[in-house]
Amino acid sequence: MIGPVGVDAPQLDATAKASILVEALPYIRRFWGRTVVVKYGGNALAGAEGDPLQAFAEDIVLMRSVGMRPLVVHGGGPQIGELMQRLGKVPEFVDGLRVTDAETLDIARMVLVGKVNRDIVSAINIHGPLAVGVSGEDAGLISAQAKDPELGFVGTIADVNPDLLIRLMAEDLIPVVATIGTDATGQAYNINADTAAGAIAEAVRAAKLVYLTDVDGIRTDKSDPATRLSHATTNELEAMIRAGSVDGGMIPKVGSCVSAVRGGVGQAHILDGSQPHALLLEIFTHEGVGTMVTPS
């Protein structure tokens, strides 16, 4: 098992270390040169002990170092909610989506573009000049339109123009995307990061789409960790949504997994980003630590 090594951590002998590398080898070969979109949720950032951002950055840099092309899409829901409360605003949600008036939109842009994005870029760039922070507003990356008057400035994605991201990855850089989009008039919209990650993964023809969040995967009984599914098909997930087994904030994640896989993304994954190096464990080991979604 890959994990942080500290004073109290068990030390692996040379044979165990070699076994880990050998297990990872076929996955390194398979995904060499392929794009892997990683959605890093604000819940994963807020819910872990120690320095989760440092561990995440190490995972992303290692993926790039073995030939993958990581692309990070991030949320920041808890951080937006925290600033709203400090400013005396009460967050309100409908089906997992934040109701966004003009003031809340300004807060979301400040947090996502000015804080969370910069923190992720800085954490990655400790390891070298690798990451570039962008917003969906940049170079027409995310074209948006209003989703529902009840939600205010919450947008749906009308189109994703991946040219900027493709150019950055061609230069061996790691794009880090804040999910604010704009319409034809320049009006900004807060875009659900789960939905945006799926749409971006489709647009760049990603081999994998990985959601790092605060749950360990998809469960048939959300209150029972023992019911986590290690694998599910798109048809199975749609049935779970209809039955109410998936609800709340999991709906955009699961729906985006289904849409992305059906749109050409090879596989989608949902896993607990607060577990140290969960991204490496999911991608480079046979067993994995979350739920993998494949076509029906």
Tens of pLDDT, residues 194-204: 999 999 999 99
Tell me, yes or no, if the pTM score tops 0.75.
yes
Is 288 domain-assigned?
yes
Residue among 77, 136, 198, 255 flagged as catalytic: 77
Catalytic-labelled residue, pool 75, 152, 181, 194: 194
For residue 12, being part of any structural domain is answered with no
Helix (H) / strand (E) containing 216: none
Q: Is residue 4 part of a domain?
A: no
Sign of CA dihedral 177, 254, 283, 275: positive
**Residue 5 resides in a domain:** no
17 is catalytic: no
Active site residue 194: yes
Total count of domains within the chain: 1
74-101 confidence digits (pLDDT tens): 989 889 999 999 999 988 888 767 899 9
Mark 229-248 as b/e (b = at least 16 C-beta within 10 Å). Answer: beebebebbeebeeeebbee
What confidence score (pLDDT) does residue 97 get? 76
Residue segments in the chain with a per-residue pLDDT below the cut of 50:
1-9, 47
- Residue 253 falls in the annotated catalytic set: yes
Residue 145 φ/ψ, nearest 5 degrees: -145, 160
Catalytic entry in 42, 75, 217, 290? 42
For residue 268, give its domain range.
Answer: 32-294
CATH number of the domain to which 274 belongs:
3.40.1160.10
Pick from 138, 250, 258: nearest CA to 209: 258
Contact call for residues 136 and 143 (beta carbons, < 8 A): no
In a domain, 201, yes or no: yes
Residue 11: its pLDDT value, please?
Answer: 62
Closest Cα to residue 272, out of 215, 194, 190?
215
Annotation says 39 is catalytic: yes
Give a yes or no: residue 11 inside a domain.
no
Cβ-contact 59, 277 below 8 angstroms: yes
The answer to whether residue 26 sits within a structural domain is no
The SS3 of residue 260 is helix
Contact assessment for residue 154 and residue 190, using Cβ atoms and an 8 Å cutoff:
yes
156 within domain boundaries: yes
